[in-house]
């Protein structure tokens, strides 16, 4: 290890050759984000001071010249955001870091964040978000004027803005996965550099809604290797460092959603299924991917202005009504709008009933149940087989009332009764096996702790698909749609 005191005595030029080591993991998410930005830009983990100063000057061209110092959500009265420094932000910042590097070798101790033995410098809210100010030392350990951290951590904090996304408040990922963080930096650091603006949710245009941005990020992460996604929890910090109202909340993007989006992108609708003896029939094109069907399902659920706009399912477009014409609304504008399906997805809530109402294919519903709802494979297989038996019975006996009785179920008691009635009628098919066994009922159809609505909705989704042509011939679609919508939102979960 180099003797810093000796280097300081020999002069500034030698000091500039001292190495800063970024090959460590910090215990603080803000420092860790900035540290990865430094490594990404320099492509090495040990850097001489002269290189760091050049990188700081590079960052200042964005902070001051291109972003006009609008970093108040991250830095409170720092060298970039302090109004008194207007016009002198670059000068004051370089002056600050010069003083830090010139005093390396003094005030040794353990860094409060990474724990390494090094020279320590105070970091308050002007440098490190959500800490205390130097006028309130009681907020910090040992009544110090800030969090005492090493030069590497101090430098890392300076590059934090390149690793956050501004979606109302600042959004920042927290992960130890290099692959996941590099994917995140493609949407923050790289797009920020490419478009010369502070990243404001640049994915597919400026996202104003947090849930929409999280969904777009889920689609981005779905391109990663499945093993990486299965091992990592995707967690974000959603924070602001404003003086009057600092806040921070923890957001976890459902892992199952990302795995689901990955699987539907790679699997085609004519793929062989995982369940022995079951062949899925699909209403949509046999050559299309599940992703096409899913994207169409998501697309039609954006909110429109009543009586002024509408969605046309035949063209898959949104339109605006004018006095003399009808105009197509831009896709860029639509994806910024509120979408109740996206909101439920990023919150980890089930949308199986929405899939049911949209008559989605059972193949897509099965993937959703497996990846997002984490439904056991044996239970999914049992419910699909049950739906196939009921569908066959409905066709043979010409009994649409069996389907309608299932649709009218609004609580678990009525669902049990509908299953028992269907079981009694199944006897007339003279099948050697019953509609379902006691074991199926207890452990796979309605197991303890699982929502009964998932069983009902998956069965109905499969029935709609199997009976598609039969229902069209019976001209019962309108009656069925009416039954579906009766007091739907008040049903017992």
**The predicted structure's pLDDT at residue 195:** 65
Percentage of the chain surpassing pLDDT 70?
Answer: 83
- State the DSSP string of 219-260: HHHTTS-HHHHHH--EEEEEEE--SS--EEEEEEE-HHHHHH
- pLDDT at 15 > cutoff 80: no
Asked if the model's pLDDT at residue 30 lies above 50, the reply is: yes
Asked which of 195-199, 382-386, 481-485 is least confident by mean pLDDT, the reply is 481-485
Query: What DSSP string describes 429-448?
Result: GT-SS-SS-HHHIIIIIS-T
Better-scored residue on pLDDT, 355 or 289: 355
Residue 137 has pLDDT above 50, yes or no: yes
What is the pLDDT, as a whole number, of residue 207? 64
Q: Is pLDDT of 417 > 70? A: yes
Strand order in the sheet with 309-312: 309-312, 317-321, 326-328
- The pLDDT, as a whole number, for residue 139 is 64
Please determine, for residue 391, whether its predicted confidence score (pLDDT) is greater than 80: yes
At residue 269, the pLDDT reads 65
Distance CA 311, CA 302 (A): 9
- pLDDT in the model for residue 283: 38
Q: Which tops the pLDDT comparison, 257 or 313?
A: 257
Please report the pLDDT score of residue 469 as a whole number: 85
pLDDT for the residue 390: 95
Mean pLDDT of 177-206: 72
Does residue 493 surpass a pLDDT of 60?
A: no
169-174: strand order across its sheet: 165-167, 169-174, 234-240, 247-253
| Structure tokens given for 459 | 């069965």
pLDDT in tens, 246-286: 899 999 999 999 999 999 988 776 544 433 233 333 334 44
pLDDT at residue 397 is higher than 80: yes
Over residues 103-112, the mean pLDDT reads 84
Residue 89 has pLDDT above 60, yes or no: yes
pLDDT, residue 203, reads 37
Q: pTM of the prediction?
A: 0.85
| pLDDT for 106 | 80
Could you tell me the maximum CA-CA distance found in the chain, to the nearest angstrom? Answer: 99
Round to whole Å and give the CA distance between 246 and 240: 5
Choice between 385 and 166, residue whose per-residue pLDDT is larger: 385
432 compared with 420, residue with greater pLDDT? 420
Alpha carbons within 13 A on the beta-carbon side of 7: 19
Would you state the pLDDT for residue 142?
65
Over range 160-182, report the average pLDDT: 92
Please say if the pLDDT value at position 209 is more than 80: yes
């Amino acid at each position: 290890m180099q003797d810093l005191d000796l280097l300081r005595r020999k002069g500034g030029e030698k000091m500039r050759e001292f190495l800063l080591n970024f090959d460590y993991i910090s215990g603080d998410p803000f420092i860790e984000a900035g540290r990865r930005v430094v490594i990404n830009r320099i492509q090495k983990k040990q850097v001489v001071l002269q290189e760091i100063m050049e990188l700081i000057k590079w960052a200042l061209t964005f902070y001051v010249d291109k972003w006009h110092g609008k970093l108040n959500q991250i830095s409170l009265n720092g060298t970039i955001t302090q109004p008194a420094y207007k016009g002198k932000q670059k000068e004051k910042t370089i002056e600050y870091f010069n003083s830090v590097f010139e005093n390396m070798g003094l005030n040794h101790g353990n860094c409060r964040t990474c724990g390494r033995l090094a020279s320590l410098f105070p970091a308050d809210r002007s440098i490190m978000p959500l800490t205390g100010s130097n006028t309130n030392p009681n907020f910090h350990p040992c009544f110090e004027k800030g969090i005492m951290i090493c030069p590497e951590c101090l430098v890392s904090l300076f590059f934090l803005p390149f690793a956050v996304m501004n979606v109302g408040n600042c959004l920042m990922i927290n992960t130890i996965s290099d692959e996941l963080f590099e994917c995140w930096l493609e949407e923050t650091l790289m797009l920020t550099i490419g478009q010369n603006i502070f990243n404001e949710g640049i994915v597919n245009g400026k996202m104003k809604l947090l849930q929409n941005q999280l969904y777009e990020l889920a689609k981005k992460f779905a391109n990663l290797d499945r093993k990486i996604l299965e091992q990592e929890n995707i967690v974000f910090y959603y924070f602001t460092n404003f003086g009057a109202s600092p806040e921070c909340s923890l957001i976890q993007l459902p892992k199952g959603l990302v795995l689901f989006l990955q699987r539907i992108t790679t699997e085609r609708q004519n793929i062989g299924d995982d369940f022995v003896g079951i062949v899925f029939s699909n209403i949509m094109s046999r050559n299309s991917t599940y992703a096409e069907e899913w994207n169409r399902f998501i697309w039609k659920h954006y909110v429109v202005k009543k009586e002024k706009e509408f969605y046309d399912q035949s063209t898959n477009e949104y339109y605006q009504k004018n006095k003399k014409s009808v105009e197509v609304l831009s896709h860029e504008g639509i994806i910024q709008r509120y979408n109740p399906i996206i909101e439920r997805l990023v919150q980890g809530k089930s949308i199986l009933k929405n899939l049911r109402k949209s008559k989605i294919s059972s193949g897509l519903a099965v993937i959703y149940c497996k990846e997002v709802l984490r439904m056991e494979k044996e239970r999914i297989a049992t419910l699909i087989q049950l739906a196939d038996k009921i569908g066959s019975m409905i066709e043979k006996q010409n009994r649409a009332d069996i389907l309608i009785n299932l649709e009218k179920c609004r609580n678990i008691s009525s669902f049990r009764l509908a299953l028992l009635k269907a079981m009694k009628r199944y006897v007339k098919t003279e099948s050697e096996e019953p509609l379902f066994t006691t074991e199926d009922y207890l452990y796979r159809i309605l197991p303890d702790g699982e929502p009964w609505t998932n069983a009902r909705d998956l069965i109905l989704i499969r029935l709609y698909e199997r009976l598609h042509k039969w229902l069209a011939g019976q001209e019962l679609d309108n009656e069925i749609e009416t039954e579906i919508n009766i007091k739907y939102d008040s049903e017992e979960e």
